[in-house]
Every structure is written in C-alpha cells, then in structure tokens.
Amino acid sequence: MKIFERDFIDLSYQKTLKSKFTFASSWSLAKRQELFNLNEYALYKKDRARLTSNAPVNAALSSTAFADHTAFTGRLGFEGRPWQKFYLHNGQKHPIENRSSPVFSLDYVKGFSGIFGSNVSYDLLEVGIRDRIRLGIRGRLDFALRAGKFLNTKSMYFMDYKHFAGNLTAFVTADPVGSFRLLDYYKYSTNDKYFSANIHYNFRKFLFTHITKFRLLGMSESLFANYLAAPYSGNFTELGYGLNDILRLFRLEFATSFQNGRYVGYGIRIGVSASLASHFSDK
C-alpha cells in the first residue's frame, strides 16, 4: 500500500434522466503532500529487507516522488442504457435489474491550472461498455471494456495517472468483473492511452458442478480472462478458473498471467463470492 496526504473539498452531483441515462459530475480541490516511512521496525530481522519506500514504482518514471501542491480537478460522466427493459408494479414502472441493456459510459476528467492556485493541467477522455448476458440455464457472461487517452499532460502528478485494479495479495476484495488478480498495483499506471477488458463466465455445470452435491450446496464455477494494453504493460493477459459460493460467501480462484504471450506466473486467490461482489458493485 502506498499512500499520500490529501486535504480536500469534494462536491458531486448525479441525475438519472428518463430511467435510461445518468449524468454525474464531481469536483475536487485538494492540497496533496508526500508521506514517508519513518519506522523500519519489523518483528523479524529478515523482514526489514522487505520494507520498501512509500513511493510507488512505475515502469515509465524513474521516480514518483512529488512536491507539495494544490490540485483542482473536475469530472463529467455520462451513462446510457438505451435498451433498458421495465416492469409495471401497482401502476409504476421499474427497471429490470441485472442490466437488461448494455451500459455505455463516457467520462471526461480535467485538471485546471491556475484556478485556486492549482498546479495541475491535464485532460483524460475514457469510453466504456459493460453488460451481463444470461445464456439460458447454461450460465451467465459478464464483461467490461474500457479505453482511454490523455489528451493533454502538461502538468501531472502520479496520483493523476490512470491506475488499474491490480492485486498482489492472496485476497481479492474488488468486483471479479473489472479487476485483475496478478497485476502490479502501480507498475503500468499511465498518462497515455490504454485499453482494458475483463470477461467472466459463470457456469451452471462445468467440472465439479456436474456432481449433484456441489450444485445442492449452491456452488458454481467460472472462467475468466483479463487483458490490459498500455505503453509499458505490453499485452498483459490473465486466464483463470474459480469455484464460487463456497459456504454461500467465498470464492477460490486460480489465475495465470502472460505478457506478450510469454508465461509470467500464477497465483491462488480468495475472495467474496462472485454473486455478492457483483451485487455490491451494481449498487
């Protein structure tokens, strides 16, 4: 974990239009300063060598250190569900949950220079699409695609870069659709163009779930693939298998990673069951 101090005022607004479109805007004025590790104590001496600086390591930068500064930033976001379906209850129209339509998104983020003493100046444009497709009784396909590009990078700090939902621990707390299992947190963060894809297929019957007892316990299985293309990541790909809803709460995953087609490594991950994680994400 790498952290910095931020004293801020944040304002946000969101409005849903005709149940199919959502407009959101957020604004932030913050004073940001770097924090440093001041203690090298470790319970075991050999662990002292594993202590690292509080500054993230990034493939594009020789150093992510920064001076104290002020940042005034704004975001405009738009989401559209053009084919959203509805049902009537007591004469009122309600949207059918679980994304009966793909969700298209458009986000524009800007750093303003000179306003309120702000020291940042950058522009980011990002588009995305996510959807959930139910394939009858056979299973469910979830996917999320995002692509973005910084149009201006005149004055930026590392926290203004685009960061991806990586993970290097045995535990995964993020939504299984939209996050990586083996990706470094900051190594491939970028202020250039990028594309990410997350695909998750949940099977009703696959390997273990062909056994009736597993199905009666409510378990399901999944295959997933995650992909990132950024200037220094190359073609980073993850492929994995998951056993979901263990005791109705947990999931166990095995993932492997590749870079430009070459094997990098593997890992075993434990997380909240996919159904619960995606439910909280939808909310």
**Which DSSP letter does residue 14 get?**
E
pLDDT of 280: 45
CATH number at residue 203: 2.40.160
Angle, alpha carbons 3-146-198 (nearest 5°) = 85
Reading the block at residue 261, the tokens are 């087609």
Tokens found for residue 242: 């998951």
- Sign, CA dihedral 56-60-66-69, equals negative
The reported pTM is: 0.89
Phi, psi of 49 (to 5 degrees): -70, -20
User: How much is the pLDDT for 85?
Assistant: 83
**Average pLDDT, 10 consecutive residues per value, the chain (283 residues):** 95 92 97 90 73 91 96 97 84 72 96 97 98 83 96 97 95 87 96 97 85 80 96 97 87 96 96 64 50
Sorted by sequence, the CB contacts under 8 Å of residue 279 that are 6+ apart come out as none
Tell me the residue range of the domain where 256 lies: 4-282
Give the neighbor-by-neighbor strand order of the sheet with 69-80: 4-17, 21-34, 69-80, 103-113, 119-134, 139-155, 194-203, 220-230, 234-246, 250-259, 262-272, 171-172
The number of folded domains in the chain is: 1
Closest by CA position to 171, among listed 181, 184, 185: 181
